[in-house]
Structures are given as structure tokens and as C-alpha cells.
Amino acid sequence: MRNYRIANIWGIPIQLNISLLIFLPVLVWLIAATGQIEVYASIIDGLSSAPLDAEGLQEGLNPWLIGTAAAVGLFFSVAVHELGHAYAARRYGIGIRSITLWIFGGLASLESMPREWDREFWIAIAGPVTSVLLAGVFFGALQVVPASLPLVVFVVGWLAVINVTLAIFNMLPAFPMDGGRILRALLARSRSYASATRTAARVGTIFALLFAIIGVLSWNPVLILIAFFVYGTATTESRTTMLDELLTGVTARDVMDTTVRSVSADTSVADFTDRLLRDRQTEFVVVDSTDDVVGFVTLSALKRIDRDIYETTSVREVMETDVPAVEPSTPAFDVLVAMRNGPLVLVVEGDEQIGTVSRRDLGRVMDLRKQLGAGQPFERVAM
């Protein structure tokens, strides 16, 4: 989904995902028209020095003004929560690519995830701590807002309460919430990072199941969506860590195919088909007349065109133009990440193309290390 940059803080792009723009009116409605104002008014009345008239808050356009201000304030609070993570990460020298606000809250995209348990612990807990501190700021403001501004009293009080709620909710031990990362960090003190991730992911799936059950019984669509999101994230986190473990210590040079199989961009698809059968390969680098790489072509590309035009269609017309390139020393896991948009990565040393890495190459290494044990050293074998 598309993101829109709305600000830059500490050099970090703050992005607004389109899903939030769609969800924001729903959130306004949930606050304004589902009885929440009356519920929270009684809580805020006990926190504020200024008495609140719950009936007055619900007259005319007041609920919609409150809902709009509260919804915007909530996502401001989420942004500050994510900035807390960013501040802690920077203290450890970890860069932040961006902070994205979306339907499920916020996401600080770190350039790398720390493997040291104490670093992950402090980065993860910095978000909830920031939310509690922000709640304290709103609580302090609540004491000085005059009773003549009841809408402001309510919104400020609501933000004080909701930031404490945000901190508590994020402490639940389920990925991608901070509590899941805190749990993994604590588990990693006495076991491997991969084992800690698997255990934390299992706990996350249990919480996802609980969210789903509660969401269905209370017919809460938002909670059901959160359940699916938590389950998917916990599963992805576990799988990603397993792949990272299997590829630890392996570089692009270790797994690359040193034969760069290339085909001219002007070759007909018919001739390319003969080449596929002859070489028994399914991925080729595409080069122009000066032997510069201009794309890659695979067997699957041929399935998108009619056989009747194989003779009159060139490889240039069916190739993919985005060919990621890596250095020989690039960790294999980073090669896998670079491969997300295609099946092939070019290995370049200086100006020379020295090999390629395909999903098949990485799959062979992962399968071998899985059978031997991921901790086994990897030695280069000619491919």
C-alpha cells in the first residue's frame, strides 16, 4: 500500500500509509457514536480537577469534534511511541529507515535488528516507556485545562488514558508488539536467538487465537483483524529468523554460480526456448550489444505470451529490467532479501560480473545446513 511522507524528525521520514487514511473516519465514528464518550467521561472526571458534563459532550457536533481530535491525537501518540524506539536504536548506532503510521498503529523500520538480547530489550521497551511518559504529560495538562473548555478537557484526558492503554497493550508478549520482542530478548539470555524467536512466536500465535475468539464472541471486527495480523507476523518472524540462522556465516561468494549464463536481448523467444532446453537452466541474465546487463529472463516469462509469436518476439520484450546486484562479501541472508523482486541476483566485483545467485542456489545451501545443523561451518563448493 502507498505511503505518504508527512514530516521529517531527526532525519527520519514519518510516513502515512493509505490504510490509515481509510481507517481514520472509522476510528472517529467508533469514538463519537458508540458510547465511548460516556464511558471515558466518567474516568476522566475522576482524573481531572474540572468536572465533566457527559451529556453536554454529546450534544450537536461535539461528539464528532471529539472523535476527530482524539483520533488525530491517538496517531500522534503512536508516532511519539515509535520515536521512542528510534531514539533507543540510535543510541546503539542502529539507523532508522522510516516510521510508518498505518491501520494497526506504527512501525519503526530499523536498518538492522540487534541480535544482542540487551539491545533488543531496551529498544523494544523504549516504546511503552515513552507512551507512559506521554500519558504523564497529558495528565499534567489535564490539571491546568480550564473547565470552560470541556471538549479540550475530554480529549486531553482521553489521550492520557489511551497512552497508558497503548503501553499495556504493547507489552502483551505477541509479535509484532513490543512485548513479543521483550519476551524474545529475555529468552535469548539463556538460549539461541532462533530458539528464543520460535518460543516467542508460539506465544504470539496463542494470543492471536485469543484475540480471534474474543473478537468473534463480541463481534469486534478490529480485534479479529488484529488476530490475523499478529498470527501472520509471528509466523513470518519465526520463518525469517530460521532462514537467517541457516544462512549465518554464508556469503554471496559461497553460494554463487560462477558461470554467468547470459542471452542477448535481441534473441528471439523461439531461440531462447532452445537455449533453455540445451542448458537445462530456467534463469538467464540479459545483455545488450555491449555486454552490459539490462535485465533477466526466466522460464515463467514465456508462459505469459502466445507460442504463435515466439519467432517474432525478442527476449527484450519479455525480460524483467530490475536486476539486483550484490558484492561477493554480501551475507547470504541479505542476498535473499535483495531477491524479493525476482529469482536472480548478480554478483559483481568492481566492474566485473563474477556470478549469479538464484533461489535454487540458496535453497540447496539451506537444505544442506538444515540436515547437517546450521552451526556447521560452510565451505565453498564449486557449482
Torsional sign, CA 206, 207, 210, 215: negative
pLDDT over 90 (residue 134): yes
Dump pLDDT digits (tens) for 233-278.
777 777 777 777 777 778 888 888 887 788 888 899 888 888 888 8
- Residue 19's alpha-carbon distances to 2, 32, 240, 381, in angstroms, are 8, 20, 25, 47
Tell me the per-residue pLDDT of 79-125, one tens digit each, with 9 for 90 and over. 999 999 999 999 988 888 888 888 767 778 887 777 788 998 999 99
Give yes or no for a cis peptide into 176 (omega within 30° of 0).
yes
Which of the two residues, 82 and 198, has the higher pLDDT score? 82
| Active-site residue, from 59, 82, 283, 352 | 82
pLDDT for the residue numbered 123: 92
pTM of the entire predicted model: 0.70
Q: Which residue has the cell 511519539?
A: 80
Mean pLDDT along residues 182-200: 86
Cα 191 from chain centroid? 25
Asked whether the beta carbons of 179 and 171 are under 8 A apart, the reply is yes
What's the full length of the chain, in residues? 383
pLDDT band at 377 (very low <50, low <70, confident <90, very high): very low
Q: Where in the chain are the domains?
A: 3-246, 252-372
Please give the CATH topology (third level) of the domain spanning 252-372.
CBS-domain (3.10.580)
Looking at residue 364, its pLDDT comes to 82
Binding annotation for Zn(2+)? 81, 85, 178
Residues of each annotated binding site: 81, 85, 178
Q: Is the pLDDT of residue 283 over 70?
A: yes
* Catalytic residue flag (residue 82): yes
The pLDDT tens digits of the residues spanning 17-29 come to: 888 888 888 888 8
Where residue 340 falls (left for φ over 0; alpha for ψ -120 to 50; beta otherwise) is alpha
Task: Provide mean pLDDT across the span 205-210.
Answer: 89
